Amino acid sequence: MELNVETETDYYKNAKKYWSTISPTVDGMLGGFGSISFIDIRGSEQFLRHLYRLKPAPGHQRALDCGAGIGRITRGLLVPFFEQVDLVEQDEQFCQTARTSLKDCGPKIGTVYNEGLQSFVPQAGHYDIIWVQWVLGHLTDEDLVQFFSRCANGLARSGMMVMKENFTSNDEVIADETDSSVTRPLAAMKALLKRGNLRVVKEQRQTSFPKELYPVYMLALKPLIKS
């Protein structure tokens, strides 16, 4: 998705404006589909457990939850697996809700970064798992490639990035002007991943979601092996 600078600025502004109107609840995070949260987390947990059977497996020290919202995935999925979880979220209200609601997790919650993914830079070599879910449609193609490259650099030895996203079932990119996002075909996303120095090591479709939703896939990613 090629945008000029002025349009790109509006694209991010409009998304920020949209999310500022959404209630900081699980139902708000999931666009009124709060009922799928349990199925979603269980599917992700199963996928993550598979990744720990791979050799070499990621560590259990640090995870990063990207587009974290109010911390739904941090609490339900990442906290049980990792010693510490950082969150990055562009909406200030969601960040505040996350900080408050996750207090009972104690030192397992690290830093909550109030920043958009288009500019966020993970600390180099820091994270065992970088989890990115239902947020990448808000980034332009070029920003996505740069984000992937920064994430590849932010992974610890044997670390992986996991993407869980909606994908179109054909070769179309579908725009949603309501929340200023796009849904890409899986093949288009894989092409962007390669440009961003990442390769797919495991892929799985999420099952048991309502039929009216887009297909959702989980992709486990590692940096490309440099020649």
Binding site as annotated, residues for S-adenosyl-L-methionine? 67, 72, 117-118, 133
> Residues at the annotated binding site?
67, 72, 117-118, 133
Task: State how beta strands 216-223 and 84-89 pair.
Answer: unpaired
